Structure 1
Amino acid sequence: MNWDAEVDVVVVGGGGGGLVAALTAAEAGLEVALFEKTEFLLGNTAASAGMIPACNTRFQKSLEIDDSIETMTQDILKKNHFESDPKQVSALANVSGPLVEWLNDSLKIEMSVVTEFKYPGHSNFRMHAPPSRSGLELMRLLKRNALNHENLYILYQSDLEEILLDEAGEVLGISINTPDGLQLIRGRKVILATNGFGGNTKMVQEYIPEIADALYFGYEANTGKGIEAGKNIGAATTHLTAYQGHAAVNENTGLLVTWGTIMMGGFYINIEGNRFGNEAHGYSEFAKEVLNQPEQYGYIIYDEEIHNQLLTIEDYKQLTEMEAFKKADSIETLAELIEVDVKNLANTFGKFSNQTDGTADEFDRTSFAKKLTNPLYAIKVCPALFHTQGGLQINEQAQVLTAEGTPFQHLYAVGGCATGVSGKQAYGYMSGNGLLAAMGFGRIAGLHAVNQLEQIKRGI
């Protein structure tokens, strides 16, 4: 082939997973080319809260939080009903602590443990995030690091065409549509980080029709291109029915309402003023429940103490500045403000207020962190699809597998492009699984590629 360029590592996709993989390889001195489909380095990471679950970190230890790789592995497997590959889950739990400390120490991205509340499924405080609790900040800092490497080339508006193979069926590189036309790029290692297919209406309707009517709250460039390119060369796919939903997007502002509103003691009602499920199970599976309600939206009810504690989260702070909430000194007045049945909401509030933490209610919710007190808050929220969690099948080194289960030696997939650790359905998603699979496998793929190329160089 007549190559237009040759590098050590080709990375396709400039979100969190792609940047972590590219930075890992570039730090080792390899020549890296990163191709981004759009004009920006954003991806789903930028729309997230920037929270990465990690265990056994020095940040946890400084707060006397006793966590372990085994505990985190079991938490993830329990949440997804043991449907994901235990080896992949263990690999991510193993890399999670070193990943967070590398972000902090090598990339100078200040990380700390989120201790305001525990997300559903996590038995410990293990979410780590930058100070603003913002994925946009995380992406800005990753990009800043990438621009500091002269051996890391970033090309925008470059859309993957196909993965190129040699006569033996091994990966040689890619063809990619760039502003200068179709180019052939030789890569000794190729890392796919193109996310999933949440932005591809046809694929969503085919594989996850239950969420097809929801708002899509992910990056528009996530059209499944990497998954399709992998399938075209014989790669296996799994768990294409898996996804992360979210039940709490404020559509008026386009901002996510943190599930901390629930986990710190709030509850979710439909437009008739009634609760309809166990909110504390998880925001991903609850999205489908909201779609089954009248008008397919609802309200989260909580109090001022919770409101004040959440002001450290950038998106929530912006919601406050935009006056996205309704506030009242009684539940009856709040019902009038949000135009729901006063009697229904008052009855719902009364029943909820009488619940005891640890005792199951009619929806099997057992976590009631506090008694809500006046003044009370309400915010209108709707369900959304954030990203898909199924994709190309990979092993614990993030290498893409063939239909026969053997790895392509030079091809990796990370994040939404690959099968994640959320099992087969929305219920398997545990908070942080998306960023963990993107950045964790990004780190794993980068390190594995570096190690493999070093061995080749030494003739091993």
Structure 2
Amino acid sequence: MTDHPARIVRAAQMPEETPRFPAVIVGAGACGLTAAIRLREAGIECLLLERDSVPSGSTALSSGFIPAAETRLQRSLGIEDSHTQFAEDVMAKAHGQAAPHLVKTYTEGVTQAIDALEKHGIVFEILDGFLYPGHRARRMHALAERTGAALMAALERTATAAGADTLTDSVVRELWLNESDRVIGVGYAALDGAMAYVACDVLLLACNGFGGNPSLVGELLPEMKNATFGGHVGNDGSAIAWGRALQARLADLGGYQGHGSWVTPQGALMTWAVMMEGGVQINAEGRRFHDETHGYSEAAVHVLEQPGGVAWNVFDDPLLSLARTFPDYVDAEKAGALRTAPDVASLAKLIGCEADVLQATLDAAAPEGSDAWGRHFKRPLKAPYHAVKVTGALFHTQGGLDIDSQCQVLRQDGRPFSNLLAAGGAARGVSGNEVSGYMSGNGLLSAVGGGWVAGATAAGILKN
């Protein structure tokens, strides 16, 4: 969390001899870098101001999977999908709460982004063999490494090669606006702590959310105030602070990405594919407590409600093989997260529960019919059993500045600021206003799709 407040400075002009860029982007995460690539395609100079010494953000901590429909790659593989179906899936997972204009904008914009990034030399593949909760088609685009860090490195290389400029170790503290509410520049703290300034004609807030700000989490997400934060420390809520100071409209502040599979104490995300393909979550009493296929975001709340705020992911050999195809899980296993039991009695001893209770729980997770939560199983789990201890974590917030379909920040009366844009973690996403609305990949959908749209909007403002 930052130890300095985000500020609004009112002035007619920036200090003398302030350098100027047509477009300035706050944050060099997936959103900011995607927007920069789009701006450079339009021949527009842009400067990214990044707080870290190496751009990373929440994307680098994720698996780096970008959902997109009707891409060149998806079509080439014969996958039947459409923007309409994708948008329907997003809306269904969000229980109809997601902003329809952003769902349409992002599900279409992310396709353009993926296809353009391919032309820049980024090689994607589509995850095969399983579907994440809420998705009706194989549409997760990933790099071969299957890590967010690899995606970030590829985006940074592409933006740099396209001619975008980046200043790292630069924490934006001030937004400068004139009396007409037009952004004229920003003030940022360099590595030595001294303030520096840059003027601009368009400003894009592509910074993160507020998950790393305990005060805002306690205020806006009280059910997660004591949860482990598994996101990036740059999620300090600056965009919220600037929005409040500007009396901009905020939206979906109750939406967030939780994760019910945060490996403890090792501290890593375990892929939810194991749950989708037949794994179960068992509490300290030896019982299941929800339908794991509903999604890993809402699972965070369910896990935190269990005794001790923990659960065990229980699975078998075929699912272990699947888990080992994900680098994050491999790292967690190397750190000692995996436990193996030859039979139910040994698994019960490991968990600390009664063997007969656990046996009844596993017997109920069978292919015949559906369980108490309506889940259908393809097959029973078979010994030997594997288990990983997990807790619920807050990973990324999904609410923020309200924006229109062009990613322009809106005032309280719905009118857009003329040259202030927001996307990614700084803006409202497409997950609605609660944890269960988050569908796998929504964060990168907003970051990459939103970054692409915001870049196009900035280019249009500057050319007009």
Q: TM-score, normalised by structure 2?
A: 0.93
Q: Say if 2:20 is the partner of 1:6.
A: yes
Per the alignment, residue 7 of structure 2 pairs with none
Per the alignment, residue 295 of structure 1 pairs with 308
Please tell me the residue identity of whatever aligns with 1:384. A
Aligned with 2:47 (options 20, 26, 33): 33
Residue 160 of structure 1 and its aligned partner are, at CA, apart by 1.9
Per the alignment, residue 172 of structure 1 pairs with 184
Please list, as runs of the form range in 1=range in 2, the aligned pairs for 1:357-368 lying within 5 A after superposition. 359-366=369-376, 368=377
Q: Say if 2:355 is the partner of 1:345.
A: no
Per the alignment, residue 127 of structure 2 pairs with 114
Per-residue displacement from partner, 1:358-403 (whole Å, max 9, x unpaired)? Answer: x43212223x243322322111111100011110000111111111
Change in 2 beyond 3 A, CA 1:379/1:402: same
Please list, as runs of the form range in 1=range in 2, the aligned pairs for 1:19-418 lying within 5 A after superposition. 19-106=33-120, 108-149=121-162, 151-179=163-191, 181-353=194-366, 355-356=367-368, 359-366=369-376, 368-418=377-427
CA distance in 2, matches of 1:264, 1:132: 22
CA distance in 2, matches of 1:235, 1:360: 47
Please tell me the residue identity of whatever aligns with 2:180. A
Per-residue displacement from partner, 1:95-151 (whole Å, max 9, x unpaired)? Answer: 122222222221x222111122111111111111111211011111112223334x4
CA distance in 2, matches of 1:229, 1:177: 16
CA distance in 2, matches of 1:93, 1:148: 27
CA distance in 2, matches of 1:191, 1:341: 55
Per-residue displacement from partner, 1:234-270 (whole Å, max 9, x unpaired)? Answer: 2110111111100001123221100011001111011
The answer (yes or no) to whether the contact 1:264–1:370 under 8 Å persists in 2 is no
Change in 2 beyond 3 A, CA 1:324/1:81: same
The answer (yes or no) to whether the contact 2:34–2:159 under 8 Å persists in 1 is no
Segment drifting more, 16-25 vs 411-420? 16-25
Segment drifting more, 301-310 vs 65-74? 301-310
Residue 452 of structure 1 and its aligned partner are, at CA, apart by 2.6
The answer (yes or no) to whether the contact 1:238–1:390 under 8 Å persists in 2 is yes
CA distance in 2, matches of 1:102, 1:220: 30
Identity %, equivalent residues:
38
Residue 326 of structure 1 and its aligned partner are, at CA, apart by 1.3
RMSD: 1.6
Per the alignment, residue 428 of structure 1 pairs with 437
Per-residue displacement from partner, 1:163-186 (whole Å, max 9, x unpaired)? Answer: 222232222222222236222321
Q: TM-score, normalised by structure 1?
A: 0.94
CA distance in 2, matches of 1:169, 1:319: 48
CA distance in 1, matches of 2:19, 2:442: 35
Per-residue displacement from partner, 1:206-239 (whole Å, max 9, x unpaired)? Answer: 0010011110000011111122113212211011
The answer (yes or no) to whether the contact 2:255–2:434 under 8 Å persists in 1 is yes
> What stretches of structure 1 move > 4 A for 4+ residues in a row?
none
Give unmatched runs, 5+ long, in structure 2: 1-12
Per-residue displacement from partner, 1:288-320 (whole Å, max 9, x unpaired)? Answer: 111111000010111111111232211122233
Aligned pairs, number: 449
Change in 2 beyond 3 A, CA 1:109/1:335: farther
Residue 187 of structure 1 and its aligned partner are, at CA, apart by 1.1
Residue 188 of structure 1 and its aligned partner are, at CA, apart by 1.1
Please tell me the residue identity of whatever aligns with 1:160. V
The answer (yes or no) to whether the contact 1:392–1:419 under 8 Å persists in 2 is yes
Give unmatched runs, 5+ long, in structure 1: none
Please tell me the residue identity of whatever aligns with 2:272. W
Residue 85 of structure 1 and its aligned partner are, at CA, apart by 1.3
